[in-house]
Amino acid sequence: MKTFALRLKPEADLRQALLQFAQMRPLRAGFVLSAVGSLHQACLRFAGAATGTILTGKFELIALTGTLCPTGVHLHGAIADATGQTRGGHLLTGCLVYTTCELVLGEAMGWEFRRELDPETGFHELIPQPSATESSSKLP
């Protein structure tokens, strides 16, 4: 496993920054190891919803998980407001950093992720496969 650390500054879009990082590296099979920070706007798609909900205020980013590759990212996050109320869902474009966001990312060696439109779900779904360039990590 390779690890990467980065810090996003105020006004950075969390999802867009992670997608750009995955594309510029490029990350073949990336995932989120750790994320802490704050947002002043969050855009989350809640379970079963067709569109995202924009939340404004000051939020702590208390959890972030997901996969990253050059063809897309799939992220779920949880945020807490000033009263501790927590909301979570599918992280969309529009999650804007308030003061900072500290991220530690991993890359699974021997794997390649890509995203393709799945006609059954209607979403760009993860296609994981052993890397052709790292035969020692291939599945039997």
Asked whether residue 36 carries a pLDDT value surpassing 90, the answer given is yes
Whole-structure pTM value: 0.91
Give the count of beta carbons closer than 10 Å to the beta carbon of residue 16.
15
Q: Which domains does the chain have, with CATH numbers?
A: 2-135 (3.30.1330.80)
Query: Which has the minimum average pLDDT: 21-30, 69-78, 127-136?
Result: 127-136
Mean pLDDT of 93-120: 97
- Three-state secondary structure readout of 4-67: EEEEECCCCEHHHHHHHHHHHCCCCCEEEEEEEEEEEEEEEECCCCCCCEEEEEEEEEEEEEEE
pLDDT band for position 116 (cuts 50, 70, 90)? very high
Mean pLDDT of 5-18: 98
Residue 74: alpha-carbon gap to chain centroid: 5
pLDDT score, position 108: 97
Element (H, E) at 89: strand 86-91
Mean pLDDT of 60-65: 98
Mean pLDDT of 31-47: 98
Q: Are 77 and 60 in contact (CB under 8 A)?
A: no
Q: Rounded CA gap, 14 and 55, in Å?
A: 14
pLDDT score, position 132: 83
